[in-house]
Amino acid sequence: MDEITEKKAIHAVPPTPTERKRLRGIIADRLANASLTPPLSMEELSDMSLGLILSHGLDKTLRGWLMVEINNGLWKETVASVPYDKRILLLPQCLRNSSRCQADVDELGLLCRRCGSCRIPTLQDKAGELGILTLVAEGFTPVIGLMESGVVDTVIGVGCLDSLEKAFPLLVRHAVPGMAIPLNRAGCKDTEVDQAYVESLMSMTSVSHSLPAPSLHEDEIKRILEEWFRPDSLQEILGKATDPASAVAREWLAGDGKRWRPYLTIGIYRSLTGLKEIPETLRRAAIAVECFHKASLVHDDIQDNDLFRNNRPTVHSAHGIPTAINVGDLLLGEGYRLLASCNQMELLQVAAAAHVALCKGQGMELQWSRKPETLTLDYVLEIFSGKTVPAFEVALDFGLICSGITDKAMQDTLHTYSRSLGIAYQLQDDAADFAHDASPTLRPSATLAVLCEQNPTNRYLQGMYEADHPIKDFLADAGNKPLLQKATKHVTSLAETYRQQALASLNTLHNTEMKRLLFRLTERILKQ
């Protein structure tokens, strides 16, 4: 099936208002009988739409429309709970009457002259009466920034299925609570939408006053972390760095970094408690998480002989290996000192267990690197489970512990999610090792494991170990390059499988804000 035919196969819209209303009723009944908490992934929405097609004998070309409307149904109560002044109505420029429209268009969108030739001013007036912000522009991308900054909490957006093909996955991956309303027909001008349906969605109010409005704004948490990791703030909580080792450690801790792990700790706490105020225990636990992470990077860079990280000299390349080992150990000590001051033994127990698991995983990697032998993917995944997974798991556990909420089932879910996320992250990193100029070191990577498993008769490990030239050059020669490309493609595909498993594992959670947090973090961590 060619690309054009494929688009037509999923981009059909039910032809009449009556049929659209009937199908929305079927979707509502299906969701009412299911215990589902938004968000759902694109794969899950696709499966549900296909299920409706099969069970109700619907045309397969409605798959895209059904996915959008299922997602609308999932978010309906959440959107209804958001105050009007925290909603935005996004309308496409193609709704205007192309032959009579007098509007100007600037970088922000269409500036309506209210000539009365289309539905845009009517919908704008309705939104204005309610206090809803309106934007007439193409695409949903501008809305993501508005939501991350806390200007708005939800979007009600109109667009054709062709444009939603790009925008809708963006909304799903970023876990945006909103309603996407497909136009009744495709086209770049003079399109139509069910006006009454749009107005009904704009006017919704929550039937349950217990539903909280979305509150986990990314920019706000980033600002908190920026404040905590400023040198003066770190001095306040850790004391003055009066000795050489502390000065280097403090500089490393305050330096650049995405700080995903303390972000997770804060996010889990807030999603469980609904509180914006940060208790001192949470602050100390979150900083401890970053101390542990930065310590592991210092030691890992030594063991892998990496001279640069994020285009900056590693600690051992700048200060020497003995100093770097000492700095890493100091950061570990600072992390445990912070946790001890929280007077919660469980925090120390969780950190210690993760520390041991990480060292065991690293030990497996070092042992293999010292004496390479037959490599299997199972062996590599076991290393990942020890090296990468605990760092995410600890961050989630700390948020759960600090919230004071004891929920073993939730903790098990978060651990399952952590394992899939950590493995996906490391698989993605392994595939990328062969995509840039620097040659990777000889270590037990997923790419090498797949090469060995797919080509058991080739002596890759012996050839790479004995070669005088870099590993990447060895694998990129004329004979090996096609096999390397095949292996890299397989690892990339496997990373996507684990990404989907991470998101699917969250279906047992019934906390919408927590699911939104983890969906967004999965997207950001795996799409760097």
- Among 202, 234, 260, identify where a domain stops: 202
Residue 125 and residue 27 in one domain:
yes
| Cβ pair 281, 402 in contact under 8 A | yes
pLDDT at 527 > cutoff 90: no
Q: Can you tell me the mean pLDDT for 478-492?
A: 84
In a domain, 213, yes or no: no
Domain count of the fold of the chain: 2
Of 256 and 366, which is predicted with more confidence?
366
The pLDDT of residue 395: 96
In a domain, 77, yes or no: yes
SS (H, E, C) 46-74: HHHHHHHHHHHCCCHHHHHHHHHHHHHHH
The pLDDT of residue 218: 77
Residue 154 and residue 185 in one domain:
yes
Of 104 and 23, which is predicted with more confidence?
23
Helix, strand, or coil (residue 464): helix
Of 214 and 192, which is predicted with more confidence?
192
Q: Can you tell me the mean pLDDT for 106-125?
A: 68
Encode 489-516: b = buried (16+ Cβ within 10 Å), e = exposed: ebbbebbeebbbbbbbbbeebebbbbbb
In a domain, 395, yes or no: yes
In a domain, 209, yes or no: no
In a domain, 208, yes or no: no
The pLDDT of residue 309: 84
In a domain, 210, yes or no: no
Confidence of residue 101 (pLDDT cuts 50, 70, 90): low
- Of 18-32, 182-196, 367-381, the poorest mean pLDDT is in 182-196
Q: What is the pLDDT of residues 365-388, one digit of tens each?
A: 988 888 877 789 999 999 999 988
Confidence of residue 143 (pLDDT cuts 50, 70, 90): confident
Q: Can you tell me the mean pLDDT for 173-201?
A: 83
Residue 436 and residue 353 in one domain:
yes
Q: Can you tell me the mean pLDDT for 49-59?
A: 96
pLDDT at 50 > cutoff 70: yes
pLDDT at 129 > cutoff 90: yes
| C-alpha to C-alpha distance for 237 and 470, rounded to whole angstroms | 45
**pTM of structure:** 0.84
- Among 202, 226, 247, identify where a domain stops: 202
Kindly report the CATH number assigned to the domain that includes residue 383: 1.10.600.10
The pLDDT of residue 136: 82
Residue 441 and residue 509 in one domain:
yes
Residue 224 and residue 197 in one domain:
no
pLDDT at 247 > cutoff 70: yes
Helix (H) or strand (E) holding 226: helix 218-228
Residue 198 and residue 307 in one domain:
no
The pLDDT of residue 165: 74
Q: Can you tell me the mean pLDDT for 23-50?
A: 93
- Of 174-188, 367-381, 385-399, the poorest mean pLDDT is in 174-188
Residue 147 and residue 189 in one domain:
yes
- Of 62-71, 346-355, 361-370, 501-510, the poorest mean pLDDT is in 361-370
Residue 359 and residue 454 in one domain:
yes
The pLDDT of residue 484: 82
The pLDDT of residue 306: 84
Residue 79 and residue 121 in one domain:
yes
The pLDDT of residue 406: 85
Q: What is the DSSP string of 6-46?
A: HHHHH----SSHHHHHHHHHHHHHHHHTS---S---HHHHH
In a domain, 211, yes or no: no
Q: Can you tell me the mean pLDDT for 391-398?
A: 94
Average pLDDT, rounded, for the chain: 85
pLDDT at 354 > cutoff 80: yes
Residue 455 and residue 512 in one domain:
yes
In a domain, 255, yes or no: yes
- Among 202, 229, 249, identify where a domain stops: 202
| Cβ pair 178, 171 in contact under 8 A | yes
pLDDT at 194 > cutoff 80: yes
The pLDDT of residue 6: 45
pLDDT at 280 > cutoff 90: yes
The pLDDT of residue 109: 55
Residue 310 and residue 277 in one domain:
yes
| Cβ pair 291, 253 in contact under 8 A | yes
Residue 387 and residue 420 in one domain:
yes
- Provide the domain limits for residue 482: 218-526
The pLDDT of residue 284: 97
Question: Tokens standing for 172?
Answer: 């799903």
Q: What is the pLDDT of residues 403-413, one digit of tens each?
A: 998 889 999 99
pLDDT at 179 > cutoff 70: yes
The pLDDT of residue 98: 62
pLDDT at 257 > cutoff 90: no
Q: What is the pLDDT of residues 423-477, one digit of tens each?
A: 999 999 988 877 655 556 678 889 889 988 887 766 666 666 555 555 666 666 6
The pLDDT of residue 150: 75
- Of 139-143, 424-428, 482-486, 506-510, the poorest mean pLDDT is in 139-143
Which residues neighbour 106 within 8 Å (Cβ) at sequence distance 6 or greater? none
The pLDDT of residue 273: 92
The pLDDT of residue 188: 65
